[in-house]
C-alpha cells in the first residue's frame, strides 16, 4: 500500500490535511527520494501525526528546536525522528515546513537585520535597560551607603539579603514575564515596569528600617527590573538574527552607561541634598527614559498561539545542551554578583576613601560598556558560546592573577575593575544570545524564563553567602575572592560541556 494511503486511513476526516499528505508523498515518490521504510509507519511515527484541531501541549513541544546531536546517538534513530517531525509539521500546519537546524536556530523567518524601525526598537530597549540594568550595576553603591548609614547596625550578610532578593526577583519573575511576552508582546509589560520602578524608588527615598529596604528595593524594584529587562532583551531578537549578538550587545550597553552615570550622580547628591532627594532625582531620571521606551519597544513576530505562561521543565530532559547551559549560567550569575555588590566595601576595607569606593563602580562599568559592544560583535563571528567561554576564562585570570594578589593597591584594583567590567558586560549580553541558539525565536521567552527560573536561585543565595564568607574570614576578603574564582571555574567547565554536547570536543568550531 502506498505511504499516502496508510496516512489517509490514520487521519480520516481531516480532508485538507490528507490531501496535502497525499500530494507530498506522491511528489517524493516521483522524485525517488522516499525510502521504502516510510511506507510502513510505526506506532511512534503515528503518535506524532495530529489533525490541525488538536492544538495540545505535546504538539507544541514536539515542534520546538532541539539540537540534532541530542535527539539520538545513532544516525538511524535521528533520521526517523526527522521524518516524524516533518510529517507532524505537514499535518498540524497544513504546509510543508522547511527543515530546521538547532545549531543556528533557523525557524524559517526572515529578519530585517536593521532599518529605522529595528534600530528604534533597539534604542527603546536601550532606554529601558538604562534604568533597569543601570540599577543592577550599582548595587555596590547602595550597599556601601546603607551599610554605613541607615543599616549600620546590621552585618554584611544580613544587608546582602536586600540585594539578593532584588537580583532573585529580577530573574525569577521571568518565569511568567518571558512567556507573557511571547503571548501578548511587550507593551503592557514595559508600562507596568515603568510604574513599579518609579514607585519603588520613591518609597526607597523614605526608607530607614531594614524591612523598608527589603520591600521597597528588594521586592518592588526586583519586580520592576524583570518587567523592563525581559521584554527589552526579547524584543531585539524579533528584528535581528545574523546580527543578534551585536544588536543585543548595543542594547545592553545601557546598563553599563547607567552604571557609570548613576554612581557619579549619587555620590555628589548624597553630599549636597542627602539620601532622600538623591534617590528621588534618580527616580525622575528613570521615569524620563522609560516613558520614551514605552513608545519605541515593539515586537514584530506574531504572538505564539500555543505559548504557555509557565516554564517548561521538560526542556531540560529533551535538550541536554540547554540543561548544561542553564547550569553554566547558574554558576556565572552566582559569581557575577559578588564583585558587583562587594567591590566598594572591599575598597573601603583596604583603606581607600569613600569617594574612591564609589568611583570604582564607575570604573568597572566603563569597562562593561566596551565588553557589551565588542562581545556582541565577536559573538556574531565565533558564536555566543565561544565568546562566553573566552570571557569566563579571562575573569578567572583576573580573580586569581590580579584581584587576589594586587587588589589592595590602587593600580591593581583599577585594572581588575576594568577587566572584570569588560568580561561581566560580555557575559550579561551574551547569555540571552546563547539561549537563543537552542530554540525558535517564537519560543525564546519560555526558554529564557525556564533558564532563569533556576538561575535566579543563584542570585538569591550568592550575595548573602559571600557576606558570610567575609564574616568568617574576620572582615578579610580573600575568602570571597577565592570563592568567586572557583565558581567561575565551574561555570567554564559547564559551558565547555554544553558546547561539546552539540558540536563535540572541537574547540575551534563556531558555536
Question: Residue 139 falls within a domain, yes or no?
Answer: yes
Average pLDDT of the residues in 13-38:
44
Question: Residue 494 falls within a domain, yes or no?
Answer: yes
Q: Which three cell numbers stand for residue 342?
A: 562587594
Question: Residue 87 falls within a domain, yes or no?
Answer: no
Neighbouring residues of 157: CB distance < 8 A, sequence distance ≥ 6: 464, 467, 468, 470, 471
- Are 418 and 367 in contact by the 8 Å Cβ rule? The answer is yes
Question: Residue 357 falls within a domain, yes or no?
Answer: yes
E strand or H helix at 483, and its extent? helix 478-503
In Å, the largest CA–CA distance within the chain is 87
pLDDT tens readout for residues 156-205:
888 989 999 998 998 888 777 877 887 778 888 999 999 999 999 999 99
Instruction: Please tell me the distance from the alpha carbon of residue 83 to that of residue 88, in angstroms, as a whole number.
Output: 9
Average predicted confidence (pLDDT) for the chain: 77
Question: Residue 195 falls within a domain, yes or no?
Answer: yes
Average pLDDT of the residues in 449-455:
82
* DSSP collapsed to 3 states, 222-244: HHHHHHHHHHHHHHHCCCCCCCH
Check whether residue 387 and residue 244 sit in a common domain: yes
DSSP state of 413: H
pLDDT tens readout for residues 398-414:
999 999 999 999 999 99
Question: Residue 37 falls within a domain, yes or no?
Answer: no
Check whether residue 342 and residue 210 sit in a common domain: yes
Check whether residue 11 and residue 138 sit in a common domain: no
Q: Identify the CATH number of the domain in which residue 464 sits.
A: 1.20.1250.20
Check whether residue 338 and residue 236 sit in a common domain: yes
DSSP 148-176: TTTTTTS-HHHHHHHHHHHHHHHHHTHHH
Average pLDDT of the residues in 105-113:
58
Check whether residue 401 and residue 276 sit in a common domain: yes
Instruction: Please tell me the distance from the alpha carbon of residue 427 to that of residue 314, in angstroms, as a whole number.
Output: 26
Question: Residue 90 falls within a domain, yes or no?
Answer: no
pLDDT tens readout for residues 377-389:
777 788 888 889 9
Cα three-residue angle 300-303-305, rounded to 5 degrees: 155
DSSP 425-445: HHHHHHHHHHHHTTS-GGGHH
Question: Residue 335 falls within a domain, yes or no?
Answer: yes
Q: Which domain holds residue 245?
A: 116-503
Cα three-residue angle 146-151-157, rounded to 5 degrees: 90
Q: Which three cell numbers stand for residue 263?
A: 554612581
Check whether residue 265 and residue 409 sit in a common domain: yes
Please check the confidence at residue 327 and state whether its pLDDT lies above 50. yes
What pLDDT was estimated at residue 95? Answer: 29
Instruction: Please tell me the distance from the alpha carbon of residue 484 to that of residue 339, in angstroms, as a whole number.
Output: 8
Q: Alpha helices, DSSP H only, in 36-173?
A: 43-48, 57-62, 68-71, 75-93, 116-136, 139-147, 156-172
Check whether residue 4 and residue 126 sit in a common domain: no
Query: Residue for cell digits 501541549?
Result: 57
Q: What total of structural domains would you count in the chain?
A: 2
Query: Residue for cell digits 552585618?
Result: 155
Please check the confidence at residue 28 and state whether its pLDDT lies above 50. no
Check whether residue 207 and residue 355 sit in a common domain: yes
- Are 455 and 326 in contact by the 8 Å Cβ rule? The answer is yes
Check whether residue 9 and residue 124 sit in a common domain: no
Check whether residue 21 and residue 131 sit in a common domain: no
DSSP state of 368: H
Check whether residue 276 and residue 394 sit in a common domain: yes
Alpha carbons within 13 angstroms on the beta-carbon side of residue 8 total 15
What pLDDT was estimated at residue 510? Answer: 75
Amino acid at each position: 500500500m502506498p505511504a499516502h494511503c496508510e496516512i489517509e486511513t490514520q487521519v480520516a476526516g481531516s480532508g485538507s490535511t490528507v490531501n496535502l499528505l497525499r500530494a507530498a508523498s506522491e511528489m517524493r515518490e516521483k522524485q525517488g527520494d522516499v525510502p521504502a521504510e516510510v511506507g510502513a509507519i510505526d506506532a511512534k511515527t503515528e503518535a506524532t501525526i495530529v489533525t490541525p484541531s488538536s492544538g495540545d501541549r505535546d504538539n507544541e513541544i514536539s515542534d520546538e528546536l532541539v539540537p540534532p546531536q541530542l535527539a539520538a546517538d545513532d544516525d538511524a534513530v535521528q533520521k526517523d525522528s526527522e521524518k516524524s517531525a516533518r510529517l507532524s509539521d505537514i499535518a498540524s500546519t497544513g504546509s510543508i515546513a522547511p527543515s530546521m537546524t538547532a545549531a543556528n536556530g533557523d525557524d524559517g523567518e526572515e529578519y530585517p537585520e536593521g532599518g529605522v524601525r529595528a534600530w528604534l526598537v533597539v534604542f527603546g530597549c536601550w532606554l529601558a535597560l538604562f534604568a533597569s540594568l543601570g540599577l543592577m550595576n550599582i548595587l555596590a553603591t547602595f550597599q556601601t551607603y546603607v551599610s554605613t548609614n541607615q543599616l549600620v547596625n546590621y552585618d554584611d550578610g544580613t544587608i546582602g539579603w536586600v540585594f539578593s532578593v532584588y537580583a532573585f526577583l529580577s530573574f525569577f519573575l521571568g518565569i511568567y514575564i518571558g512567556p507573557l511576552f511571547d503571548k501578548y508582546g511587550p507593551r503592557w509589560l514595559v508600562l507596568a515596569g515603568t510604574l513599579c520602578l518609579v514607585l519603588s524608588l520613591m518609597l526607597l527615598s523614605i526608607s530607614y528600617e531594614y524591612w523598608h529596604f527589603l520591600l521597597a528595593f528588594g521586592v518592588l524594584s526586583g519586580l520592576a527590573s524583570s518587567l523592563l529587562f525581559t521584554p527589552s532583551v526579547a524584543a531585539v531578537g524579533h528584528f535581528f538574527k545574523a546580527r543578534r549578538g551585536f544588536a543585543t550587545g548595543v542594547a545592553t550597553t545601557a546598563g553599563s552607561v547607567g552604571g557609570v552615570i548613576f554612581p557619579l550622580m549619587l555620590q555628589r547628591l548624597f553630599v549636597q541634598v542627602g539620601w532622600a532627594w538623591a534617590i528621588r532625582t534618580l527616580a525622575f531620571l528613570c521615569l524620563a527614559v522609560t516613558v520614551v521606551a514605552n513608545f519605541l519597544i515593539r515586537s514584530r513576530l506574531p504572538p505564539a498561539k500555543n505559548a504557555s505562561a509557565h516554564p517548561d521543565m521538560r526542556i531540560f530532559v529533551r535538550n541536554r545542551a540547554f540543561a548544561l547551559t542553564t547550569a553554566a549560567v547558574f554558576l556565572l550569575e552566582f559569581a557575577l554578583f559578588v564583585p558587583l555588590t562587594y567591590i566598594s566595601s572591599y575598597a573601603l576595607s583596604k583603606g581607600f576613601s569613600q569617594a574612591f569606593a564609589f568611583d570604582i563602580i564607575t570604573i568597572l562599568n566603563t569597562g562593561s560598556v566596551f565588553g557589551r559592544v565588542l562581545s556582541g560583535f565577536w559573538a556574531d563571528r565565533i558564536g555566543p558560546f565561544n565568546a562566553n567561554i573566552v570571557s569566563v576564562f579571562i575573569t578567572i585570570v583576573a580573580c586569581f592573577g590580579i584581584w587576589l594578589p594586587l587588589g589592595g593597591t590602587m593600580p591593581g584594583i583599577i585594572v581588575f575593575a576594568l577587566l572584570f567590567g569588560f568580561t561581566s558586560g560580555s557575559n550579561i549580553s551574551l547569555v540571552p544570545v546563547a539561549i537563543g541558539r537552542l530554540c525558535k525565536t517564537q519560543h525564546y521567552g519560555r526558554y529564557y524564563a525556564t533558564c532563569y527560573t533556576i538561575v535566579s536561585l543563584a542570585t538569591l543565595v550568592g550575595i548573602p553567602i559571600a557576606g558570610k564568607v567575609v564574616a568568617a574570614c574576620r572582615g578579610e576578603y580573600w575568602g570571597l575572592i577565592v570563592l568567586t574564582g572557583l565558581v567561575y571555574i565551574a561555570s567554564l567547565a559547564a559551558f565547555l560541556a554544553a558546547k561539546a554536547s552539540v558540536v563535540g570536543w572541537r574547540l575551534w568550531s563556531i558555536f
